[in-house]
Amino acid sequence: MILEIVFAAGCFWGVEKNFEKIPGVVEVTSGYAGGNYDNPDYHQVLANKDDNQVFNSLDLLKKIPWSDEEDEDDENNKKTNKNIINHAEVVKVVYDTKLVSTEFLIKNFWELHDPTQIDGQGNDKGNNYRSAIYWTNDEQKKIALSTKDEYQALLNKKGFGEIVTELKPLDKFWQAEDYHQDYLAKNPNGYCPNHKTGIKFANQG
């Protein structure tokens, strides 16, 4: 059976690369999910990463000579952003259950980042870098919740805090821009930090 599930674990470049290496994974696509506005793009998701610093992350855009009308639009956007739930950088993983189990993929997710970090991973700060699982069926939900408890017990033994991962059904997945797809395959020396806790499930190797 071919299924899909969506994960968020920091910058999607490294997460995409991680899941693409797993046998049984058919396709991995970088994108956005978990927010409440349509057609998100990379700049919007960055702009909304911190309610108190909207647009501050877009320093590169400050070099562009905006018109007065555009400046007014930005001010209006800042006011309306108070009601925005931002999207996270995510990857949609399509997989063949005959070759890889849902449990293996979800356990891999827990191990590839630090799920106790709130709104970020390492130096990547902001709600767009939050930890999340967005499932597409009840079996995935069951496994996500049970493995969360299992991983929390392992984290507790090593002195880590509580898991803060967002766990909910997928509403809609929005595919990211083309230049984000297979980014590290195209740019082998690109940004790919390691945020693993080093804690593994007993049967995950």
Active site residues: 11
How many Å apart are CA 127 and CA 86, to the nearest integer? 7
Question: 113 and 164 in contact (C-beta within 8 Å)?
Answer: no
24 neighbors 192 (Cβ within 8 angstroms) = no
* End-to-end CA gap in the chain: 25
Q: In the 8-state DSSP scheme, what is residue 113?
A: S
Q: Which residues 6+ apart lie within 8 Å of 90 measured at CB?
A: 6, 7, 8, 12, 15, 30, 31, 32, 33, 34, 132, 134, 173
